[in-house]
């Protein structure tokens, strides 16, 4: 029995619109599946194998061996060496002597430490506590990435908010200043990285020249990218400068969505500018803040271009990042399985951080 009438026509129109919608979305769906979903599925599977980029040997299933190599960390307590009378032996500098680490990491008597390297050590009383890792470089990459994220999220987000507050005014020529602060965003990160590498140059870099001029020659040149204490802070400063304009625009959109009547009511009540910010501006920016800090967090975990263009992970692995390690293992060392395992670990870390942020910024019932 055929249906007719307005209802049937409406149903056909709905089906046509749905079909047209799927047809328009099909290219995007194919691209997302081909370049995002499918590679991740393949990486997840390869992470449990010994796959190499070019190898005559067949691929074998190795289980969680790749993850164990990347994440294994053990604690070793070394007691000082003593003479026959029980006195601690001292070296030429007067420091206590301890057993050689190779007696543990290269001995079959201690299989739990076999093949590990020293990550760092510290003293606890007379003993020396050593943290050993199977892959010291990757462990450093994890902590470097976390340090970069923890540093840049409040720094970039806070500076962008301050700029947005300063530029959220109806003044003549205000758009010129907004454009100036946004300009670094449209410049390629590769170009920005090479530009700042010249600025940070240890001999004739612009930063050293300016600081020497301001201090009347008292400032001694610093190799900003060649020093383990300054390399990562230098990259954080450059990354903050490059991306602050984009988040400034997002904050501006949030500020302009707050009804002006709220500020007028606060002024009538005698609220100071700071009280207006705390009680009117910041509550009105809650959703914007969640978006801004989430975007900065995701971008910071993808730290790669700055490292590849400026330091290559040095000096002494002080600027290694998770993504840089994944690319270096997968293509530089042709260890596709190791690079895939790193990608899976990064996915898990980002997922955990996202869930924590979502929990902390959730809507709370009154």
pLDDT in tens, the chain (366 residues): 455 556 667 677 777 888 888 899 999 999 999 998 998 899 999 999 999 988 888 889 999 999 999 999 999 999 999 888 888 888 888 888 999 999 999 988 899 999 999 999 999 988 999 999 999 999 999 999 999 999 999 999 999 999 999 998 877 878 888 888 899 999 999 999 999 999 999 888 999 999 999 998 888 999 999 999 999 999 999 999 999 999 999 999 999 999 999 999 999 988 899 999 999 999 999 989 989 999 999 999 999 999 999 999 999 999 999 999 999 999 889 999 999 999 999 999 999 988 888 787 776 654
- Closest Cα to residue 262, out of 279, 274, 245, 246? 279
Q: Please give the Cα distance from 242 to 189 (Å, whole number).
A: 8
**Tokens 């067949």 belong to residue:** 58
Instruction: Outline which parts of the chain fall under CATH 1.10.3720.10.
Output: 137-360
In this prediction, residue 40 carries a pLDDT of 87
HSE-up (13 A, CA, CB side) for residue 8: 5
In this prediction, residue 366 carries a pLDDT of 42
Q: Please give the Cα distance from 175 to 181 (Å, whole number).
A: 10
Q: Please give the Cα distance from 146 to 16 (Å, whole number).
A: 49
In this prediction, residue 105 carries a pLDDT of 92
Q: Which two tokens stand for residue 305?
A: 């271009």
In this prediction, residue 201 carries a pLDDT of 93
CA angle 95, 100, 101 (to 5 degrees): 115
Tell me the whole-structure pTM to 2 decimals: 0.89
**Domain 137-360 class in CATH:** mainly alpha
CB atoms inside a 10 Å sphere around CB 74: 15
């Amino acid at each position: 029995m055929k249906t007719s009438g307005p209802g049937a026509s409406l149903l056909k129109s709905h089906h046509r619109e749905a079909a047209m919608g799927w047809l328009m979305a099909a290219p995007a769906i194919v691209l997302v599946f081909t370049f995002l979903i499918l590679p991740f599925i393949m990486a997840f599977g390869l992470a449990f194998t010994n796959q190499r980029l070019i190898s005559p040997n067949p691929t074998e299933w190795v289980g969680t061996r790749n993850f164990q190599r990347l994440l294994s960390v053990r604690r070793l307590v070394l007691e000082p060496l003593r003479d026959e009378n029980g006195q601690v032996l001292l070296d030429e500098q007067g420091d206590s002597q301890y057993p050689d680490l190779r007696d543990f990491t290269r001995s079959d008597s201690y299989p739990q430490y076999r093949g590990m390297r020293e990550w760092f050590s510290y003293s606890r009383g007379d003993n020396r506590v050593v943290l050993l890792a199977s892959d010291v470089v990757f462990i450093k990459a994890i902590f470097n990435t976390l340090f970069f994220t923890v540093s840049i999220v409040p720094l970039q987000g806070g500076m962008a908010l301050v700029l947005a507050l300063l530029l959220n005014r109806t003044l003549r020529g205000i758009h010129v200043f907004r454009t100036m602060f946004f300009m670094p965003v449209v410049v390629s990160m590769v170009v920005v990285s090479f530009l700042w590498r010249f600025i940070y140059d240890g001999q004739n870099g612009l930063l050293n020249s300016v600081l020497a001029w301001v201090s009347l020659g008292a400032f001694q040149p610093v190799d900003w990218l060649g020093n383990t204490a300054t390399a990562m802070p230098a990259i954080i400063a450059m990354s903050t400068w490059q991306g602050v304009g984009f988040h400034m625009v997002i904050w501006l959109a949030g500020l302009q969505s707050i009804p002006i009547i709220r500020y007028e009511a606060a002024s009538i009540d005698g609220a100071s500018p700071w009280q207006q910010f705390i009680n009117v501006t910041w509550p009105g920016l809650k959703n914007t803040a969640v978006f801004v800090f989430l975007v900065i967090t995701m971008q910071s975990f993808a730290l790669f271009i700055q490292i590849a263009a400026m330091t290559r992970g040095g000096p002494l692995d002080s600027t290694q990042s998770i993504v840089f390690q994944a690319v270096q293992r997968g293509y530089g060392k042709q260890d596709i399985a190791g690079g895939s395992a790193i990608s899976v670990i990064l996915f898990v870390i980002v997922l955990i951080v996202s869930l924590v942020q979502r929990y902390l910024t959730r809507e709370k019932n009154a």
